Structure 1
Amino acid sequence: MSGAGAAGAPGPPAESGYLPPGLPFFRVGTGRPLVVLPGLGAPHEVPRGFERAAEAGPLRAFALSREVWWIGRRSGLPRTTTMGDLAADTAQALAAFDGPVDVVGISTGGSVALQLAADHPRLVRRLVLVAAGCRLGELGRRGQRAVLDRLDGGDRRGAGAEMVRLIGVRPVARQLEAWIGWLAGPLMLPRFTDDLAAVILAEDAFDLTARLPSITTPTLVVGGDEDSPYGPAVFSETAAGLPNGRLRLYSGRGHVGVQRAPGFARDVLTFLDTP
């Protein structure tokens, strides 16, 4: 990153804070920068405590050889926000880095990352889409709409249940997990649910299928064959539509489980580190 710190002061960047235009971040590890754009969630602020541990846990393997920058989305998003707007915010933050950087986008963060590569290609060296693709699958779109309906009704427990049900793999597990989500809803969605609604609407309209041939950034699409929100067909279509796309599909893994698949971190780093 350039000599300016996260708050614009001289000296090394802080370990957490906000990058222009108000994107929350934290960083772990040392080495060449690796930007990680997280999935759908609230609130849009620097994660603390349990939230920080949950976000940082999957990044440990990357932090052994990379300086990992977790960069979220700003708060106060209007419902007219588009995926292009979210990518433009991210582009503004990445402008502070010295040259193009490697970007890993997870789920909804993958939508932002792919839009970033389409609209601001000079900022992205290599791209990894984790459980993400050129558009939501039909189950994903219906599931996120169900979350939005619950949010609009002021039902945080119901919204929590729908969010957890969305990422379940099998029907029996989805019902059990939805019950857990119902119990944890007020903790999962304590505040700033307007931002969550804005991102859901942005992703509902997101579809870069027609633009894939023009996105030349080397891209690895990583997914599970039991993913519900996107599905293996969308993963395959995304990788095949990109001029420099590759696909890594893990057997028996769902939307969240793909990050725990054996060899996941190795596969991602091997792709990023290939000359």
Structure 2
Amino acid sequence: MEVELERMGVFFPASLEIQEELLKAGFKVPYDKGSGRKTPIPVVVSSREGRRIRRSRLLKAKDFESDGKFALVQGERTLMELELTERGFLVLRPKPIEYHLEEIGFTSIPPRVWGTWASFSIPFSAYDELADFLGDFRKDNGNGFYTASRGSGGRIEVYAYKGRSKKDLGIPVFGYSLGLHGLTLFEEYLGEKAEENDVPKERLRYLKLGLKKRKETKTGLKVGIVWENGRPVEITLKLSTTEPRIRIQGLYGELVGKSRGELVRTDDWYVIIHASDFITALEAVGRAFGGNSY
């Protein structure tokens, strides 16, 4: 099964592992006060509706318009393939076809201490198709699953988690791989930054800028439904890691944050979960406001 996403955002700046790899190679991450050189680690973003952001935050895009202060990035496409295995696992494979690179905006809490660092939004119109696709894995008993909600204004997100202690994680994740390798815009961006930072270009081929789950990485996927003005509009999937904590030496002292995984060279994107957990979580949030017949 394959669906087209409404939007996708992978916050690679949340990874101290990637920051350390770039620092060791000679890049000024994220900013060197003395020389003024900076190499912000990009957020990889794709939005079907397009996106308006400050021009200074747009690092690289294939197609955009700008008035000097703001940039309007045209609509982009990302697909997600859902693959079932014989052992009952569900493999989610995001495939960014059109995307852009952003510098993260100001936040009061540094990304390295966030839980969630990747999000994928599926249009709610795919709900019935997803439920049919995973119907054989449906469990009569949803004990052990709980729901929580958050929201502001007319927008409310309801998500599911498995086990009372897993509220910050969602459902268990058994493997994942996300990385910057193979993204043409990033390769162009990194080449430009190598020149600015006087980093020999031959050094780039040895960099590991992908992340893969370690055995000890505490990982979960929040499966939720977003409601706007009383109507469900999208299915949201959020990848979170919370432990272990790691330390690196930044440009201006020690940095502490949450591990995002093991550094690898890969252009393969995937998240592995139990199919039964996914359908149970999806139907739990579908029932949160009175059933899943909309």
Category of TM-score, reference length = shorter chain? under 0.3
Give the number of the structure whose residues are more often helix, by fraction.
1
Determine which structure has more spread, i.e. the larger CA radius of gyration.
2
Where relative contact order (Cα < 8 A, 6+ residues apart) is larger, the structure is 2
Task: Name the one with the larger strand percent.
Answer: 2
Q: Under a length normalisation based on structure 2, what TM-score does the superposition of the two structures give? A: 0.22
